[in-house]
Chains A and B, each alone.
Chain A
Amino acid sequence: MTDRLLGVEDLVVEYPARGFGKKPFRALSGLSLDIRLGETVGLVGESGSGKTTLGRAVLGLAPVTGGSIRYAGRDISRLGRKERRALASDIQVVFQDPYTSLNPALTIEQILTEPLTVRKVARPEAARRVRDLLDQVHLPADAGSRLPREFSGGQRQRIAIARALALEPRLIVCDEPVSALDLSTQARVLDLFREVQDSTGVAYLFISHDLAVVRHLSHRVAVMYRGEIVESGDGDQVTSRPQHPYTQRLFLAAPLPDPDLQEQRRAERRRLARAAAAPSVS
């Protein structure tokens, strides 16, 4: 595929265990995934499934012990610190927790100029860029002189998005970026993600535990379970007509905001659970 931006092949991530002779903890075992230019790939899974580890491996924050991560054709899984830093303008991140992902002691302007200073952007140029970024994420222009604690969770997430966009990356890893937000705030931040993608053509690796959020934003969806991808494909197919038993369980477990439909879904889930339990008993 010519327009492939990121290719993950047989990726293994192991965290060393404390103490001698203990087996390392294997967070990802032989996982493959690819992302095309301008595409959103949703990654769904429950806690401990390894979805955050995959995101951190792409960002160079997790130890890769096997397989490869290729970005624009080049293997980036074992880069040195210096080469990794050069990748900053290509791969960026928006973290889950908007309260700890911004340094509380710095103003918004200082936070947003941080990536620019690395690129040695001149001061007036950087100030202009900060204003553009704030405008792009629909924050008032005077937000730059304030501190993170003066903003709500949704606004902080907008700031985090602006920081990710500062270097005009081609891929942003979004690690549960809306799960700490209220329902209506969540919807608006998701809209912002789509709007930014439409205007810049950036690709997202969008990590979430919420099937509905992923379905809303993703062109393609991959489902993770215990360090492996159990099902992947077209977003509509995976989130509406799942094939793998685990995806089906995940799909049926999410309660629908409609009492009648939810009653049906519940009945179906219980039927599936009984069917799954029956053969193991006999």
Chain B
Amino acid sequence: MTTTAAPTDLPAVRTLERTARVSLVRRVLRSPVGAVSLVFLLLVVLAAVFAPLLAPQDPDFASARDVLAPPGGDHLLGTDGSGRDILSRLLYASRLSLSGAATAVGVAAAIGITAGLLAGYYGRWSESVASSVSSVFMALPAIVVLLAARTVLGPSPYTTMIVLGVLVSPAFYRVVSAAVAGVRQELYVDAARVSGLSDGRIIARHILTVVRAPAIILAAGMAGIAITLQAGLDFLGLGDPQRPSWGGMLSDAFAAIYREPLTLLWPSLAIGLTCIALVLLGSAVRDALERSGRPRRRRRRDAAPPAASLAESVVVHDEPTGARAEELLHVRDLAVGYDQPDGSTTEVVHGVELSVHRGEIHGLIGESGSGKTQTAFAVMRLLAAGGRIVRGSIEFEGADLATLSEKEMTRLRGRRIAYVPQEPMSNLDPVFTVGHQLTEPMRVALGLSRTAARTRALDLLARVGIPDPQRTFAAYPHQISGGMAQRVLIAGAVSCGPDLLIADEPTTALDVTVQAEVLDLLRDLQRESSMGVLLVTHNFGVVADLCDRVSVMRAGRIVETGPTRAVFATPRHEYTRSLFDAVLEDTAPRGPLVPTTQGAQA
């Protein structure tokens, strides 16, 4: 190790994905639905703003001569039952509808977002108060309250919309407080607090950005509801009869439905299309936000070093003299690839060769992204979606696992090939007791009766060193510790007497004292049953403790392989040596602080 670290952990990330900085508006415009709805809404807004200029006539001018005139001529959309020009009225009415909806949404957002931010950020009593109030509001029947408010406060459309805004504000509150409470736990918010940012600044910088998108989507839907509700009230004649409104026009047209049904069409179209555009815009925004996450994954796979440059020969250490036990697993030239959306395949493991003999623990060591877990999962044929074995063979007791059918594989997994995962807790179902999860596979795989499976499970739990098997058997996963959970999973893995055990970082999530006990357990079980074990790990200590043989992986290839003692004594590949150099266990301790260091006066 040198102190002037030339950081080679800097892969050249030149092909930057700038999608995140392309503004949301542009991403929405790129989708046809988003573009059409946004343009339509813009036109409606413009029509409302410039209604006095656009309207061919005074909306309230009634001409007795032109009652229910058909479209065409002086009246582009015809006239209503009082002889007023429909187009002019429609244009003027859009002012009322839009400003009413804006009022409702504005009031709801102001109340809901503020309360949500405060409750989500500060929690505790502000949250309890805000939740109670919002629950009361949600329980109120909106239309009844609106009718009551109109009776008390008069028919002004704006008062009605303000009341509606207050009534629907809990929707904003719920969405925002949930989003904020989620971000509140992020470490970067803690880091901002430690940096000395005031609460207001933290909210503006780190929290509002998260809330923005769901708030836009919600506002779009809510505006649609406000327009419909307002039109409904006007249609019932509960609005202000002095001003043209879409609902009022609908009501007038309804009165003349037998004489001129066409007049019903125009206000209906205005209400319907505006609401549809609002809803579509909301979903276009949501789609645009979801799509932004996608390119990252692709880029990460591309970032893997080019295969050819590393295709050097594998360093193979000599076998110690003496016969090895029968070969259990032989992986030949295994390549694993993932199908990409564009039809190509990205290879992550390039031609791995390794063998596991009976009664032997083979360690597969490497850093993250080296392909060690992919190799292990390929042996079990449990690759993630899109992954497949591109070439090579996996011989296990005379069969080639690479070509077996899924049905034949299922018969092998659990019975002949068992698996111990890295995260014990996420591999136990929280809904079932430990006992149920242990006995179920035994009853299916070995055909044991309920009582026989239970006896065997209790024996196994005792065997893996669980102090009170009865209690653990009846416990749910959340009631046991991580170390206990890993013991339970090991008990489950060996319950059907497998020949090959695949352990993927089985102790990485555990404390070091628990790790030592679990390693002891794995060693003892392996000795007793003479299983073959393929152990995936990143820890040289674990390999030294447990493994008979070791293979070092890097960038999808094995670079060095041999008996553990030989590889550890004389690592020959440059990469293996660099890994050993990075090990800290054998470095000298730093020693006490010398009082006169140059920086001490700083």
Contacts and interface: CB of A to CB of B under 8 A. Distances in A.
Interface of A: 3, 36-40, 46-47, 59-61, 81, 85-89, 91-93, 95-97, 100-103, 105-106, 114-115, 118-119, 138-140, 146-147, 149-152, 154-155, 158, 160, 163, 166-167, 170, 182-188, 190-192, 194-195, 197-202, 209-213, 215-220, 234-236, 239-240, 249-250, 252-262, 266, 269-270
Interface stretch (B188-196, B374-382, B389-397, B419-427): B188-196
Given A118-B198, A199-B599, A236-B591, 11 more contacts: A114-B192, A147-B21, A183-B579, A195-B3, A215-B589, A219-B592, A240-B589, A255-B519, A255-B544, A259-B545, A262-B545
Contacts of A97: 187
B384 interface: no
Interface string B563-577: 011001000000000
A192 B5 CA distance: 7
Contacts of A93: 190-191, 194
A97 B516 CA distance: 25
Contacts of B406: none
A249 B513 contact: yes
Interface residues of B, number: 77
Contacts of A158: 7
21 contacts: A3-B600, A60-B193, A61-B194, A88-B196, A91-B194, A114-B192, A115-B197, A150-B13, A185-B367, A191-B5, A194-B3, A199-B599, A201-B597, A212-B583, A212-B585, A234-B592, A235-B589, A236-B591, A253-B516, A257-B580, A262-B545
B173 to A, nearest CB: 22
Interface string B1-22: 1111111111101001100110
Contact of B541 (A101, A256, A260): A256
Contacts of A261: 544
B221 to A, nearest CB: 24
B55 to A, nearest CB: 45
B196 A255 contact: no
Contacts of A106: 205
B590 A40 contact: yes
A200 to B, nearest CB: 6
B196 A100 contact: no
B199 interface: yes
Given A3-B600, A155-B10, A194-B3, A183 B582 contact: yes
Contact of A184 (B20, B198, B578, B602): B578
B209 interface: yes
B206 interface: yes
B415 interface: no
A209 B589 contact: no
Given A118-B196, A195-B3, A219 B599 contact: no
A257 B541 contact: yes
Contacts of A81: 198-199
Interface in B553-567: 564-565
A128 to B, nearest CB: 19
A184 B512 contact: no
A152 B9 contact: yes
Nearest to B299: A150
A114 B538 contact: no
A103 to B, nearest CB: 4
A234 B582 CA distance: 24
Given A215-B590, A220-B592, A255-B516, A105 B579 contact: no
